[in-house]
Amino acid sequence: MFEIVLCSLHLNLSILFSLSFECFVFLPLTLSLQSLKLLFFRLFLIIAFNSFSFISN
């Protein structure tokens, strides 16, 4: 019984550790990727809007 509790505790700790590892490592990466996507999307919108106004003129 005590071994099962230890094993589940170890499992919970490893899950917590992996979650915190993902939060500290992968979350900033995904955030920077999302900001890069937003930046490219804004650039695309600006270019498309400028070309559209150029065509309409």
Rg of the Cα atoms in the chain: 24
Mean of all residue pLDDT scores within the chain: 75
What is the number of domains present in the chain? Answer: 1
Element (H, E) at 42: helix 2-56
- The string of pLDDT tens digits covering residues 22-41 is 667 777 777 777 887 888 88
pTM above 0.85, yes or no: no
Q: Could you list the residue range(s) of the whole structural domain that residue 8 is in?
A: 1-57
* Six token digits for residue 9: 């505790």
* Six token digits for residue 18: 């992996």
Q: What is the pLDDT at residue 23?
A: 65
